[in-house]
């Protein structure tokens, strides 16, 4: 775990802690108590070696990517869900709160709490829809738009540093293979 200084609303400086630990599943915790060792990764008994290599590398790069992105968000005093919300709102300009919940794959109560924090931080504004008083329209404030520009720049810098060093042909092959994998994964029940 590490912590970084962060400017909170009102100019107060606080420290945010970044945790990179993962919680064990119930089965793992039960097995650990009973002395049984469960492998962290599937083994060659479970998968062929090349599939195992791909899975291991994918999991490792995914973990590394999440940690790097989480660090970038934390430097901006954002939880990852807030950063996703800023990105979605920047793309759509304004959405109803229900549309935003759907776009973020979050429950409506979770989005309400998320937006309350972001509204207090001056990143979003909410108003009642004129056409339907039951709907709440959400949009970024100028501070929210500025934050999205900074997040975009940080993400661009990360992608250029991490992927830009691969040869163009390798990047094209990787994009094709990952796209194929995503399409196959969509068919998995």
Q: What is the pLDDT of residues 149-173, one digit of tens each?
A: 988 888 888 888 888 899 999 999 9
For residue 110, what pLDDT band results from cuts at 50, 70 and 90?
very high
pLDDT value of residue 159: 85
Is the pLDDT at 147 greater than 80? The verdict is yes
Indicate whether 26 pLDDT > 70.
Answer: no
Question: For the whole prediction, is pTM greater than 0.85?
Answer: no
Confidence check: pLDDT of 32 > 90: no
Where are the domains positioned within the chain?
A: 1-75, 79-158
CATH, domain range 79-158: 1.10.10.10
What are the contacts of 109-118 at 24+ separation with CB within 8 A?
Answer: 110/81, 111/85, 114/81, 114/82, 114/85, 115/85, 117/82, 118/82, 118/85, 118/86, 118/144
Q: What percent of the chain has pLDDT over 90?
A: 41
């Amino acid at each position: 775990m590490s912590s970084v200084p962060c400017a909170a609303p009102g100019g107060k400086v606080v420290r945010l802690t970044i945790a990179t630990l993962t919680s064990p599943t119930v089965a793992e915790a039960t097995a650990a108590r009973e002395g049984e060792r469960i492998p962290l990764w599937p083994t060659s008994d479970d998968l062929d070696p090349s599939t195992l290599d791909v899975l291991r590398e994918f999991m490792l790069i995914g973990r590394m990517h999440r940690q790097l992105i989480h660090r970038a968000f934390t430097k901006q005093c954002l939880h990852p869900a807030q950063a996703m919300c800023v990105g979605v709102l920047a793309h759509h300009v304004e959405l109803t709160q229900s549309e935003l919940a759907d776009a973020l794959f979050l429950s409506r109560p979770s989005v309400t709490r998320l937006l309350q924090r972001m509204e207090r931080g001056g990143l979003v504004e909410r108003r009642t829809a004129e056409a339907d008083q039951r709907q709440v329209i959400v949009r970024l404030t100028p501070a929210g738009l500025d934050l999205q520009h900074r997040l975009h720049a940080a993400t661009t810098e990360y992608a250029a540093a991490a992927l830009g060093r691969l040869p163009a042909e390798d990047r094209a092959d990787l994009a094709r293979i990952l796209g194929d994998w995503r399409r196959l994964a969509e068919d998995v029940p």
